[in-house]
Amino acid sequence: MDDEFADFVPDEDEEIPDDTEDLEETTPEDPLEVLARCREYTDVEPFEELKKEAEGFLRGEVAAELVREKWHVLDQELAVRHHYFQDGLRFQEWSEQLVVTGRQIFEQFEWIQDQMGRLDVSLETGQELEAAYALEQIHASLAVLKSSYQTLRDLQASLPTLSDNPMVCELIRVGQLALEQKIPMESFLERLVVYADMQDRLQQALLTAQPAPRERSILDGERANLEEAFSHQQQGLEELHAFAESLDALDLEKGIASLEQGSQLQLRVRERLLQTVGAEDTRACPFCGSDNQSQSRFCASCQARLPENLAVQAEEISLGSSQGSGLPSHFHRLVSAVEQRQTGQLDDPAWQLTLSWFRELYVNVCRQRDRRKPPPADIPPEQLELLEKAGESLNAGLELIGEGLGLLESGEELQTGLDTILRGGEKLQEMPAWLDEATNLTNALQESQT
């Protein structure tokens, strides 16, 4: 026998264990001790609430179903944060440090999603130690996210200030790169779509708002300024589309100047509205982490839209605000993509990116729909009927949109799939009317009681 294998042969007097009982065993950790390692506060309130319920569950004081309710709230919060992060940032033309930081944030979101699935399964199967380990991993990832967001803000702060409006600043930067032919014009047009969408959402929010009396007074007084602001924004968008065709630096300057004019008018109205709420009632933006007044609809720092209720989430798939008559702007983007795909003008990666974008919006609203709470038991029958009709419109619209998306993703019957989605969108547009009628009924009942 070769000497190099001699160590693998036991000596004659060496004792070999007969079974696993002689092998060293490790004692499993106590789930409560694992959870105790998550003491540090994360600034993500739904997770803190989940930790409290999970501790009660591990002590045998809380039912698993209550923990799952908190799990759903956290899952919703993380989905919103991830969505707005994806919708609000593009890293491919930034510095290398920003690219690395952005990728780290995406990786953390993906890891947290894996651990959320692990937690869900462990709660269903009663594996307490697995649940504790999943919570520990989520806690650690949230700490990394917090640090990465701060790094991201620091890196962005070190960039030249081209505008007080971060999104206009982004358009200037990318427009200049496109003008110098350092990046494709498609990258600039992508930013333009994001900015136009933000304006659509802001305009729709103002149109459908149910303001308090002081807010209504401010909005009525500023109506002319708001109309002028949106007019400047629309003019700027048209001028920037002209720049994308002409590659003329003058068109870029004119378009940015128009956007700046509109942005300043909007900022003045926003500041007046913020003065009507208490400064102590704030919440963090899921995109940049900046504090905002609790009633704010858009972040004062980065202008990302803040998470709102189901009716507003439905507008994510009802997808913005309508332009004149017909369906909202996001549907127009999908229609355009299908037309370009049919004529061979849209390659496969760009087509798949569009489908993923629309699918994510659709999934977000389905999650919101599935987790909505039932109406109060003592709600008047008339109002309950209106809310049920709103729910029927939502369900029917989402069902059609899901069916149409399946056809688009299969690559077959593109026109049929698009037509089905558009029918779903029209069904969704019925929902706000029912909700408005329910709100008006509530107001009338309250007035009659006084």
Give percent above pLDDT 70 in the chain: 68
- The label of the residue with tokens 């944060």 reads 81
- Residue by residue, what is the 3-state secondary structure of 283-321? EECCCCCCEEECCCCECCCCCCECCCCHHHHHHHHCCCC
Mean pLDDT of 325-353: 74
If pLDDT is split at 50, 70 and 90, which confidence band does 104 have? Answer: confident
pLDDT tens by residue, 167-224 = 788 788 888 888 988 778 888 888 888 888 878 877 777 766 666 667 777 888 888 8
**Higher pLDDT among residues 109 and 15, named by residue:** 109
Q: What are phi and psi of 153, to 5 degrees?
A: -65, -40
Pick the CATH number of 310-450 from 1.10.15, 1.10.10, 3.10.20, 1.20.120: 1.20.120
pLDDT tens by residue, 362-416 = 877 777 677 666 666 666 777 677 777 777 888 888 889 889 988 888 887 888 9
Q: What is the DSSP letter of 11?
A: P
The answer to whether the predicted template modeling score (pTM) of the entire model surpasses 0.85 is: no
Q: What is the DSSP letter of 372?
A: P
Joined tokens for residue 68: 């799952």
